Amino acid sequence: MTSEVTPVDVELAAHADDIRAAGEIFRTAMVGLGPLPDDASGLIEPGRTHAARLDGQLVGAADAYTSWLVVPGGQRVPHAAVTHVGVLPTHTRRGVVSALLRRQLADIAARGEIVATLRATQGGIYERFGYGVASSYATVELDRGRARLRDSVPHDGGPIRYLDPAARWEDLAKIYAAARVSWTGAIDRPPYWWRSQELFAGDGGWTVAHGEPGAEDGFVRYRPSGTAGWPRNPQRTIVVDDWIATTPAAYRSLLRHLLAHDIADRIAFTFTPLDTPLRHLFTDGRVIEVSGIHDETWLRLIDVSAALNRRTYRDHEPVILAVTDPILPANTGSYRISADGAARVEAPADLVTDVTALATVYLGGSTWRQLALSGRATENRSGAIEQADALFETQVEPFSGTYF
């Protein structure tokens, strides 16, 4: 006899009780997160919570925020920030995640969003749904006691001011929205994201902004770590949780502010780009230590044709790329990629890959050579890998700096 598989019903949660229950499911699945506060209003974007039921019981959920993503060349493309994916431990391995994410991908495509990204708590889940690691971040520590800035580092910063703790989230949201955030991999931070910071980031620490009020071009949010015995602690550490600088002057000025904390022995930067310029600013680059490298942006190309057309390419010979996408089959096809953009074609492919692998190279965080080495890209014409790498080459490592 074969046992019947109970179908998973997935729907958009419409009632406040179901939306809150979905939030509790996520926190239960994560184990290490506390319950939702009584007032969790403004945390979830209406109409974007997918709820999964088995035998009528709510057992899984996934959310998304409407956002944008900066792609190579500087364009901001319509983007879904996928978050709060969770299934009750009592109902795992029963197809709930698959049903949730497939339905969500169809919804994202119907909305006309070109890409989706998420941050993965577990790395072995999302590739089968077309998500690939498109950017990573480094955790960096600085030995403040030995750190000396080079004499050549300009003193060109503007004013630094502390933000009122009671209004800091509102102020930071305005600064981020007004700043010219244009680095590859950056995303929008909608009001729901800022509300989550207000609810869960805690009240400790300080926040300073750089620039005249109303014309700020950066800020940094930091806090002490291990405050027990702080006055006599030989390794007093400041942790930087959020550092946004949209001009070189803001970057240098905010760094000088952090270095001015004479009481600190070390400064830990939670998120930095892999190609952070920090070590180049000091007379001894060894004051900077990379304590870890972690995957950051898991990217899903929802509309491959539109996504390929919205980024820029280097001036090299064109390549015809064949892409397969079993979940969103409209993406399956061949694309001619050149310095002029991308166009769908009916022609023999120079290079063959799938939508997951394509996502890993799309922002410039990986190379076609790396994909070929792992068997994730197949060359049908000699030299196609080198040509694809020449086309997709970027000057900087992609980096988001926004965790959600």
DSSP 61-118: EEEEEEEEEE-TTS-EEEEEEEEEEEE-GGGTTSSHHHHHHHHHHHHHHHTT--EEEE
Q: Could you please report the per-residue DSSP string of 279-322?
A: GGGBSSGGGEEEEEEEEEEEEEESSHHHHHHHS---SS--EEEE
Residue 299 lies in a domain: no
Q: Are residues 222 and 316 in the same domain?
A: no
Domains of the chain: total: 3
203 part of a folded domain: no
Q: Does 92 share its domain with 176?
A: no
Residue 344 lies in a domain: yes
Residue 43 included in any domain: yes
Residues 48, 65 share a domain: yes
Do 314 and 385 belong to one domain?
yes
pLDDT, tens digit only, all 404 positions of the chain: 445 678 999 999 999 999 999 999 999 999 999 889 999 999 999 999 999 999 999 999 999 999 999 999 999 999 999 999 999 999 999 999 999 999 999 999 999 999 999 999 999 999 999 999 999 999 999 999 999 999 999 999 999 999 999 999 999 999 999 998 999 999 999 999 999 999 998 778 999 999 999 999 999 999 999 888 888 888 999 999 999 999 999 999 999 999 999 999 999 999 999 999 999 999 999 999 999 999 999 999 999 999 999 999 999 999 999 999 999 999 999 999 999 999 999 999 999 999 999 999 999 999 999 999 999 999 999 999 999 999 999 999 999 999 99
What is the predicted pLDDT for the residue at 2?
A: 47
Say if residue 312 is in the same domain as residue 375.
yes
Cα distances (angstroms) measured from residue 307 to each of 34, 278, 285:
38, 32, 38
Task: Provide φ and ψ at 130, rounded to 5°.
Answer: 95, 5
Closest CA to 352 of 305, 307, 385, 317: 385
Within 152-214, where are the H helices? 168-178, 191-200
Q: What is the pTM of this model?
A: 0.96
Q: Are residues 338 and 289 located together in one domain of the fold?
A: no
Q: Report how far apart, in Å, the C-alpha atoms of 133 and of each of 116, 336, 357, 363 are.
A: 12, 24, 9, 10
Asked if residues 284 and 255 have their Cβ atoms less than 8 Å apart, the reply is no
Give the CATH number for residue 42: 3.40.630.30
Its domain, for residue 342, covers: 305-392
The Cα–Cα gap between 315 and 68 comes to 26
Q: Indicate if 272 and 328 belong to the same structural domain.
A: no
Neighbours of 63 (CB within 10 A): 25
Q: Output the domain CATH number for residue 336.
A: 3.30.1050.10
Per the structure block, which two tokens stand in for 205?
């620490």
Q: Which pair of tokens denotes residue 4?
A: 């019947």
Residues 148 and 98 in one domain: no
Buried b (16+ CB within 10 A) or exposed e, 242-262: bbbbbbebbbbbbbebbbeee
Based on the fold, state whether residues 319 and 224 are members of the same structural domain: no
Query: To which H or E segment does residue 328 belong?
Result: none
CA dist 36 and 20 (Å) reads 8
- Domain annotation covers residue 94: yes
Residue 59's alpha-carbon distances to 24, 96, 143, 252, in angstroms, are 10, 8, 47, 48
Q: Please give the pLDDT value at position 1.
A: 43
Calculate Rg over the CA atoms of the chain. Answer: 23
The DSSP bridge pattern shows strands 266-272 and 237-245 to be parallel
Same domain, 311 and 288: no
